[in-house]
Amino acid sequence: MTTIHDQAPAEDTFELVYQCRLSLSRQTIVLVADLLRAHLKAIGSRWRKLPPGKIALVVLAVLRHVQRLADMAGGNDVSPSTVHRWVWEVIELLAARAPRLDRALKKIAKKGGQVVLLDGSLIRAHRRTGPDNRRNYSGKHKAHGLLMLGITDTQGNLLWVSAARPGRSSEITTARPNKIVQKLRDHDLAALADLGFVGLDDDPAADDRPAVITGKKASRNKPLTPAQKQVNQLIAAERAVCEHAFAYFKAWRTLTKVRFDPARVTQLLRALLVLTRSHVTR
């Protein structure tokens, strides 16, 4: 009996290369190419298999469309390990340009802004074995992943993303190490957030100037009043642009399910933040 492993490939077979449209702005591709070109000059690299512009295109295709490294390598006559090295080289360069929380809030305050939008999102991750399996499991989403927070302005421009935390973390436990409440007060700003952030701003002395504004939660014995329901609807309407910002951010399909070391996800998020800000500006 002949098995599939005993079958020889058909005669006159050859590799085919197909084209795929990469829906990114010219500004984004130029940004990556210029960063890479400056980096190669700084380290004194005199030769690469492909020019910086072509390398930028390969890397962006991997991040945007999750193209397999072996496929991208075969189409460009390089090895998969070379494409892997290019991807992480560009990620490191972009992550170094990601804005930090203080600078992002200072920029909003300088422009006369008074309100920002705060939200959290789960980045799905490959299920791991051992103790890391449980800590990355989100009971809220019933899936394995890593939790991140993001801040946008009122136009829906993503300003900042936090470090990735284990999926079992809540939005509040992720926000407190970043000192979001204190930094909002330092810049005289307030943040609109969903019900997952109820209790984050628990300072009774600042009731007249809350840093985080959320809706009201109903309990089993205390339903919401019509006025409280209307307040929740108004907050949700104002936060709609924040959901749009996260949708643009997750358009990078490499975030569909992270399959590499979770310790490197923070670096990936910061790199994609820079790319998103370059590609989408409202």
Q: Which residues pair with 121 in a beta bridge?
A: 148
Overall domain count for the chain: 2
Give the domain range for residue 44. 26-95
User: Same structural domain for residues 196 and 141?
Assistant: yes
CB distance 148 to 164 below 8 Å: yes
Residues 183 and 102 sit within 8 Å (Cβ to Cβ): yes
Do 109 and 129 belong together in one domain? yes
How many other CB atoms are found less than 10 A from the CB of residue 257? 15
**Dihedral (Cα; 175, 176, 182, 183), 10-degree rounding:** -40
Same structural domain, 111 and 203: yes
Q: Which two tokens stand for residue 90?
A: 């560009």
57, part of any domain: yes
Q: In terms of domains, do 183 and 89 share one?
A: no
What sign for the dihedral angle of Cα 86, 96, 159, 176? positive
Answer yes or no: do 112 and 250 share one domain.
yes
For residues 64 and 84, membership in a common domain is answered with yes
User: What are the start-end ranges of the H helices in the chain?
Assistant: 26-43, 52-65, 69-75, 80-95, 101-110, 131-135, 171-175, 180-186, 226-238, 240-249, 265-279
Q: How far apart are CA 209 and CA 188, in angstroms?
A: 9
User: Tens place of pLDDT for every residue, the chain, 282 residues?
Assistant: 455 455 555 555 567 777 788 888 899 999 999 999 999 999 998 889 999 999 999 999 999 999 889 989 988 899 999 999 999 999 999 999 999 999 999 999 999 989 999 999 999 998 877 776 788 888 888 999 999 999 999 999 999 999 999 999 999 999 999 999 999 999 999 999 999 898 888 776 666 678 899 988 888 888 999 999 999 999 999 999 999 999 999 999 999 999 888 889 999 999 999 999 998 876
Residues ≥6 apart with Cβ < 8 Å to 82: 49, 73
The answer on 111 and 51 residing in a single domain is: no
DSSP 106-133: HHHHHTT--EEEEEEEEEEBPPPSTHHH
Instruction: Kindly state whether residue 81 falls inside one of the protein's structural domains.
Output: yes
